[in-house]
Protein backbone atom coordinates (compact mmCIF):
# COMPACT_ATOMS: atom_id res chain seq x y z
CA UNK A 1 0.00 0.00 0.00
CA UNK A 2 1.35 3.40 -0.86
CA UNK A 3 -0.89 6.42 -0.55
CA UNK A 4 -4.20 4.75 0.20
CA UNK A 5 -4.31 5.96 3.79
CA UNK A 6 -6.60 7.10 5.42
CA UNK A 7 -9.61 4.92 4.61
CA UNK A 8 -11.61 6.29 1.77
CA UNK A 9 -9.20 5.17 -0.90
CA UNK A 10 -7.96 7.11 -3.89
CA UNK A 11 -11.44 8.39 -4.70
CA UNK A 12 -12.24 9.35 -1.10
CA UNK A 13 -11.60 12.64 0.62
CA UNK A 14 -8.03 13.95 0.62
CA UNK A 15 -5.78 12.58 3.34
CA UNK A 16 -5.26 15.97 4.99
CA UNK A 17 -6.17 17.25 7.51
CA UNK A 18 -6.14 14.03 9.49
CA UNK A 19 -3.47 14.02 12.14
CA UNK A 20 -1.22 10.99 12.24
CA UNK A 21 1.17 10.25 15.06
CA UNK A 22 3.62 7.32 15.00
CA UNK A 23 5.62 6.22 18.03
CA UNK A 24 8.62 3.89 18.04
CA UNK A 25 9.32 2.06 21.29
CA UNK A 26 11.77 -0.68 22.26
CA UNK A 27 9.71 -3.09 24.37
CA UNK A 28 6.05 -3.65 25.21
CA UNK A 29 5.35 -1.40 28.26
CA UNK A 30 7.67 1.49 27.22
CA UNK A 31 4.85 3.08 25.21
CA UNK A 32 2.48 3.15 28.18
CA UNK A 33 5.06 4.22 30.77
CA UNK A 34 6.56 7.09 28.79
CA UNK A 35 3.87 8.18 26.31
CA UNK A 36 0.65 6.43 27.35
CA UNK A 37 -1.32 9.54 28.26
CA UNK A 38 -0.29 11.28 25.04
CA UNK A 39 -1.33 8.27 22.96
CA UNK A 40 -4.72 8.10 24.70
CA UNK A 41 -5.32 11.83 24.26
CA UNK A 42 -4.54 11.96 20.55
CA UNK A 43 -6.48 8.76 19.88
CA UNK A 44 -9.51 10.19 21.73
CA UNK A 45 -9.22 13.40 19.73
CA UNK A 46 -9.43 11.48 16.47
CA UNK A 47 -5.79 11.38 15.45
CA UNK A 48 -4.51 8.17 13.90
CA UNK A 49 -2.03 6.78 16.43
CA UNK A 50 0.38 4.05 15.35
CA UNK A 51 2.67 2.21 17.71
CA UNK A 52 5.70 0.31 16.40
CA UNK A 53 7.37 -1.87 19.03
CA UNK A 54 10.82 -3.18 18.16
CA UNK A 55 11.03 -6.33 20.31
CA UNK A 56 8.77 -8.61 22.36
CA UNK A 57 10.64 -7.86 25.58
CA UNK A 58 11.64 -11.49 26.06
CA UNK A 59 14.38 -10.63 28.57
CA UNK A 60 12.17 -8.74 31.02
CA UNK A 61 12.09 -9.64 34.69
CA UNK A 62 8.77 -11.11 35.72
CA UNK A 63 7.02 -9.60 38.75
CA UNK A 64 4.13 -11.97 39.61
CA UNK A 65 5.37 -15.19 41.17
CA UNK A 66 2.57 -17.06 39.40
CA UNK A 67 4.09 -16.12 36.04
CA UNK A 68 7.76 -16.62 36.94
CA UNK A 69 7.89 -19.70 34.72
CA UNK A 70 7.70 -17.43 31.62
CA UNK A 71 11.21 -16.08 32.28
CA UNK A 72 13.97 -16.57 29.68
CA UNK A 73 15.91 -18.93 31.96
CA UNK A 74 12.83 -21.14 32.42
CA UNK A 75 10.14 -21.54 29.72
CA UNK A 76 11.39 -18.55 27.70
CA UNK A 77 7.75 -17.77 26.92
CA UNK A 78 7.64 -14.14 27.98
CA UNK A 79 7.60 -12.71 24.45
CA UNK A 80 4.32 -14.29 23.31
CA UNK A 81 2.78 -13.47 26.68
CA UNK A 82 3.75 -9.82 26.34
CA UNK A 83 2.04 -9.64 22.92
CA UNK A 84 -1.19 -10.17 24.84
CA UNK A 85 -0.26 -7.62 27.49
CA UNK A 86 0.48 -5.04 24.82
CA UNK A 87 -2.83 -5.70 23.06
CA UNK A 88 -4.65 -5.18 26.37
CA UNK A 89 -2.73 -1.96 26.98
CA UNK A 90 -3.66 -0.64 23.54
CA UNK A 91 -7.33 -1.30 24.26
CA UNK A 92 -7.00 0.85 27.38
CA UNK A 93 -5.40 3.65 25.36
CA UNK A 94 -7.86 3.40 22.47
CA UNK A 95 -5.07 2.68 20.00
CA UNK A 96 -5.95 0.18 17.28
CA UNK A 97 -2.86 0.32 15.05
CA UNK A 98 0.02 -1.42 16.80
CA UNK A 99 2.72 -3.40 15.09
CA UNK A 100 6.02 -5.10 15.78
CA UNK A 101 8.97 -3.99 13.69
CA UNK A 102 9.34 -6.59 10.94
CA UNK A 103 6.56 -8.67 12.57
CA UNK A 104 6.40 -10.26 16.05
CA UNK A 105 9.69 -11.88 17.04
CA UNK A 106 11.74 -10.47 14.15
CA UNK A 107 14.06 -8.81 16.67
CA UNK A 108 14.70 -10.20 20.12
CA UNK A 109 15.10 -8.17 23.31
CA UNK A 110 18.82 -7.56 23.97
CA UNK A 111 18.75 -7.29 27.75
CA UNK A 112 20.68 -4.68 29.70
CA UNK A 113 23.98 -3.18 28.48
CA UNK A 114 26.84 -5.65 28.86
CA UNK A 115 24.59 -8.68 29.15
CA UNK A 116 25.63 -11.70 27.07
CA UNK A 117 22.23 -11.54 25.36
CA UNK A 118 23.52 -8.44 23.51
CA UNK A 119 25.81 -10.70 21.48
CA UNK A 120 23.09 -13.08 20.36
CA UNK A 121 22.34 -13.08 16.62
CA UNK A 122 18.81 -11.85 16.05
CA UNK A 123 18.73 -9.52 19.02
CA UNK A 124 17.80 -5.94 18.28
CA UNK A 125 21.18 -4.59 19.40
CA UNK A 126 22.81 -6.68 16.65
CA UNK A 127 20.33 -5.54 13.99
CA UNK A 128 21.59 -3.78 10.90
CA UNK A 129 20.31 -0.21 11.29
CA UNK A 130 19.70 0.23 7.56
CA UNK A 131 17.79 -3.01 7.31
CA UNK A 132 15.64 -2.33 10.39
CA UNK A 133 15.31 1.30 9.28
CA UNK A 134 13.94 0.19 5.92
CA UNK A 135 11.32 -1.99 7.64
CA UNK A 136 10.23 1.04 9.63
CA UNK A 137 10.43 3.32 6.58
CA UNK A 138 7.91 1.01 4.88
CA UNK A 139 5.51 1.73 7.75
CA UNK A 140 6.19 5.48 7.52
CA UNK A 141 5.41 5.46 3.77
CA UNK A 142 2.22 3.54 4.43
CA UNK A 143 0.88 5.46 7.45
CA UNK A 144 2.39 8.84 6.45
CA UNK A 145 2.56 10.33 9.95
CA UNK A 146 3.28 14.03 10.33
CA UNK A 147 4.80 13.39 13.76
CA UNK A 148 7.28 10.68 14.79
CA UNK A 149 8.13 10.10 18.47
CA UNK A 150 11.01 8.05 19.82
CA UNK A 151 13.88 8.35 22.35
CA UNK A 152 16.95 10.58 22.41
CA UNK A 153 20.40 9.31 21.32
CA UNK A 154 21.16 7.55 24.61
CA UNK A 155 17.80 5.81 24.44
CA UNK A 156 16.73 7.74 27.52
CA UNK A 157 18.80 5.65 29.90
CA UNK A 158 21.34 3.64 27.96
CA UNK A 159 19.43 0.40 27.40
CA UNK A 160 20.77 -1.13 24.14
CA UNK A 161 17.31 -1.65 22.65
CA UNK A 162 16.32 1.92 23.43
CA UNK A 163 19.50 3.28 21.83
CA UNK A 164 18.83 1.09 18.81
CA UNK A 165 15.19 2.22 18.63
CA UNK A 166 16.47 5.80 18.43
CA UNK A 167 18.95 4.94 15.67
CA UNK A 168 16.44 2.96 13.65
CA UNK A 169 13.72 5.61 13.99
CA UNK A 170 16.04 8.42 12.90
CA UNK A 171 17.37 6.34 10.00
CA UNK A 172 13.86 5.36 8.93
CA UNK A 173 12.83 9.03 8.79
CA UNK A 174 15.67 9.60 6.32
CA UNK A 175 15.01 6.46 4.29
CA UNK A 176 11.29 7.19 3.99
CA UNK A 177 12.06 10.34 2.00
CA UNK A 178 12.87 8.01 -0.89
CA UNK A 179 10.38 5.77 -2.68
CA UNK A 180 10.01 2.27 -1.27
CA UNK A 181 11.22 -0.87 -3.00
CA UNK A 182 7.55 -1.71 -3.59
CA UNK A 183 6.99 1.63 -5.32
CA UNK A 184 5.43 3.33 -2.28
CA UNK A 185 5.60 7.11 -2.53
CA UNK A 186 8.26 8.88 -0.44
CA UNK A 187 7.18 10.44 2.83
CA UNK A 188 8.79 13.18 4.89
CA UNK A 189 7.75 13.41 8.53
CA UNK A 190 7.29 17.02 9.57
CA UNK A 191 8.42 16.60 13.18
CA UNK A 192 10.54 14.12 15.11
CA UNK A 193 10.38 14.28 18.91
CA UNK A 194 12.28 12.52 21.67
CA UNK A 195 10.36 11.85 24.84
CA UNK A 196 11.85 13.25 28.05
CA UNK A 197 10.94 14.38 31.55
CA UNK A 198 12.27 17.47 33.36
CA UNK A 199 13.96 16.78 36.68
CA UNK A 200 11.81 19.35 38.58
CA UNK A 201 8.67 17.47 37.51
CA UNK A 202 10.14 14.21 38.79
CA UNK A 203 11.23 15.85 42.03
CA UNK A 204 7.68 17.08 42.61
CA UNK A 205 6.30 13.62 41.85
CA UNK A 206 8.67 11.88 44.27
CA UNK A 207 7.88 14.50 46.92
CA UNK A 208 4.19 13.64 46.57
CA UNK A 209 4.98 9.94 47.05
CA UNK A 210 6.95 10.69 50.21
CA UNK A 211 4.07 12.79 51.53
CA UNK A 212 1.73 9.89 50.86
CA UNK A 213 4.06 7.59 52.77
CA UNK A 214 4.13 10.08 55.66
CA UNK A 215 0.34 10.00 55.65
CA UNK A 216 0.41 6.24 56.12
CA UNK A 217 0.32 5.01 52.54
CA UNK A 218 1.86 1.58 52.35
CA UNK A 219 5.22 1.35 50.70
CA UNK A 220 6.70 -1.01 49.63
CA UNK A 221 4.02 -2.48 47.45
CA UNK A 222 2.46 -5.69 48.66
CA UNK A 223 3.76 -8.59 46.63
CA UNK A 224 7.35 -7.48 46.37
CA UNK A 225 9.98 -9.45 48.15
CA UNK A 226 13.18 -7.92 49.38
CA UNK A 227 13.95 -4.32 50.03
CA UNK A 228 11.73 -1.75 48.36
CA UNK A 229 11.11 1.95 48.67
CA UNK A 230 11.35 4.77 46.18
CA UNK A 231 13.25 4.99 42.93
CA UNK A 232 15.47 8.01 42.36
CA UNK A 233 15.01 10.55 39.60
CA UNK A 234 18.22 9.26 38.00
CA UNK A 235 16.57 5.87 37.56
CA UNK A 236 13.93 7.38 35.28
CA UNK A 237 14.56 7.37 31.50
CA UNK A 238 14.91 10.59 29.54
CA UNK A 239 15.60 13.04 32.35
CA UNK A 240 16.44 16.58 31.27
CA UNK A 241 17.63 19.13 33.79
CA UNK A 242 14.99 21.78 33.38
CA UNK A 243 11.81 22.67 31.61
CA UNK A 244 13.59 24.92 29.12
CA UNK A 245 14.88 21.80 27.40
CA UNK A 246 11.30 20.74 26.68
CA UNK A 247 9.76 21.78 23.37
CA UNK A 248 6.29 20.33 23.75
CA UNK A 249 4.38 19.66 26.97
CA UNK A 250 1.32 17.49 26.43
CA UNK A 251 -1.16 17.91 29.25
CA UNK A 252 -3.02 14.62 29.08
CA UNK A 253 -3.97 14.51 32.76
CA UNK A 254 -7.54 13.78 31.65
CA UNK A 255 -6.17 10.46 30.38
CA UNK A 256 -4.04 9.47 33.36
CA UNK A 257 -6.50 6.71 34.31
CA UNK A 258 -6.19 5.21 30.84
CA UNK A 259 -2.40 5.42 31.13
CA UNK A 260 -2.47 3.74 34.54
CA UNK A 261 -4.74 0.99 33.20
CA UNK A 262 -2.47 0.46 30.20
CA UNK A 263 0.58 0.22 32.44
CA UNK A 264 -1.26 -2.24 34.71
CA UNK A 265 -2.04 -4.37 31.63
CA UNK A 266 1.72 -5.05 31.46
CA UNK A 267 1.37 -7.08 34.63
CA UNK A 268 4.59 -9.05 34.21
CA UNK A 269 6.56 -5.78 34.18
CA UNK A 270 4.69 -3.07 36.06
CA UNK A 271 2.74 -2.76 39.31
CA UNK A 272 0.35 0.18 39.53
CA UNK A 273 -1.34 1.46 42.66
CA UNK A 274 -3.22 4.57 43.66
CA UNK A 275 -2.91 6.44 46.93
CA UNK A 276 -5.81 7.33 49.22
CA UNK A 277 -5.75 10.74 47.52
CA UNK A 278 -6.31 9.02 44.19
CA UNK A 279 -2.88 9.68 42.74
CA UNK A 280 -1.30 6.90 40.75
CA UNK A 281 2.17 5.54 41.21
CA UNK A 282 3.96 2.45 39.95
CA UNK A 283 6.96 0.19 40.34
CA UNK A 284 8.98 -1.97 37.98
CA UNK A 285 10.46 -5.32 38.98
CA UNK A 286 12.81 -3.60 41.44
CA UNK A 287 9.80 -2.68 43.58
CA UNK A 288 10.80 0.98 43.83
CA UNK A 289 7.89 3.43 43.73
CA UNK A 290 7.76 6.08 41.02
CA UNK A 291 5.25 8.82 40.24
CA UNK A 292 2.85 8.26 37.34
CA UNK A 293 2.16 11.51 35.50
CA UNK A 294 -0.52 12.44 33.00
CA UNK A 295 1.61 15.24 31.59
CA UNK A 296 4.30 14.09 29.16
CA UNK A 297 7.22 15.97 27.65
CA UNK A 298 8.96 16.00 24.30
CA UNK A 299 12.15 17.47 22.90
CA UNK A 300 12.33 18.36 19.26
CA UNK A 301 14.95 16.16 17.60
CA UNK A 302 18.32 17.70 16.91
CA UNK A 303 19.96 17.44 13.52
CA UNK A 304 18.17 17.22 10.22
CA UNK A 305 14.78 17.12 11.90
CA UNK A 306 15.53 19.81 14.47
CA UNK A 307 15.93 22.78 12.16
CA UNK A 308 13.56 25.46 13.38
CA UNK A 309 11.02 26.60 10.82
CA UNK A 310 7.50 27.71 11.56
CA UNK A 311 6.53 25.50 14.41
CA UNK A 312 8.98 25.90 17.25
CA UNK A 313 7.00 26.90 20.31
CA UNK A 314 4.41 28.89 18.40
CA UNK A 315 1.36 27.19 19.83
CA UNK A 316 0.07 27.76 23.33
CA UNK A 317 1.12 30.31 25.88
CA UNK A 318 4.46 31.94 25.46
CA UNK A 319 7.12 31.08 27.96
CA UNK A 320 9.47 28.32 28.87
CA UNK A 321 6.93 25.55 28.42
CA UNK A 322 6.69 26.13 24.69
CA UNK A 323 4.14 24.30 22.61
CA UNK A 324 1.29 22.19 23.97
CA UNK A 325 0.64 20.14 20.86
CA UNK A 326 2.94 17.75 18.99
CA UNK A 327 1.32 18.98 15.77
CA UNK A 328 2.03 22.65 16.50
CA UNK A 329 3.17 24.39 13.35
CA UNK A 330 2.60 21.32 11.19
CA UNK A 331 0.77 22.18 7.98
CA UNK A 332 -2.24 19.97 7.54
Under the binding rule (CB under 5 A), the answer on residue 30 touching Zn ion is yes
Instruction: With residue 41 as reference, give the H or E element that holds it.
Output: helix 30-44
Binding-site residue total for Zn ion (CB under 5 A)?
A: 3
SS3 at position 152: coil
Q: According to CB under 5 A, which residues from 143 to 202 bind Zn ion? A: none
**Shortest Å distance, C-beta 159 to Zn ion:** 6
Least Å from the CB of residue 117 to Zn ion: 14
Decide if residue 108 touches Zn ion (CB under 5 A): no
49 touches Zn ion by CB under 5 A: no
Q: Is 162 annotated as a binding residue?
A: yes
**48 annotated as belonging to a binding site for a ligand:** no
Which residue, 297, 296, 291, is CA-closest to 236?
A: 291
Contacting range for Zn ion; rule: CB under 5 A; set: 30-38, 73-81, 208-216, 244-252: 30-38
Helix (H) or strand (E) run with residue 283 in it: strand 280-283
3-state secondary structure (DSSP) of residue 229? strand
Distance of alpha carbon 274 from the chain centroid: 22
Q: How far is the CB of 173 from Zn ion (least distance, A)?
A: 21
Give the start-end residues of each E strand in 26-108: 48-53, 97-100
Q: Does residue 52 touch Zn ion according to CB under 5 A?
A: no
Q: Is 321 annotated as a binding residue?
A: no
Rounded to the nearest whole angstrom, what is the least distance from the CB of residue 105 to Zn ion in the complex? 17
Quote the CA–CA distance of 238 and 222 in Å, as a whole number: 28
When binding is defined by CB under 5 A, the residue of 22, 26, 196, 283 that contacts Zn ion is 26
- Which residues, other chains included, contact 253 with Cβ-Cβ below 8 Å and sequence gap of 6+? 37, 294, 295
- Residues that constitute the known binding site for Zn(2+): 27, 30, 162
What are the residues binding Zn ion (CB under 5 A)? Answer: 26-27, 30
Amino acid sequence: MSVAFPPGGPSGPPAAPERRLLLVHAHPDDESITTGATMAKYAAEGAHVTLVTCTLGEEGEVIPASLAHLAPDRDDALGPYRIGELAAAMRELGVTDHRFLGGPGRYRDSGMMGAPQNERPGCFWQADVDEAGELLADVLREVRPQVLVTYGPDGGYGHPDHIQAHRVAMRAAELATRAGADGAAPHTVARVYWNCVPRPVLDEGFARLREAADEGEIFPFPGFTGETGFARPDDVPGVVEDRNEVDVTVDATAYVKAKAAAMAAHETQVSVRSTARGEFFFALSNGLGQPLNGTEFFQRAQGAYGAPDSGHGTDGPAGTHGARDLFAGVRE
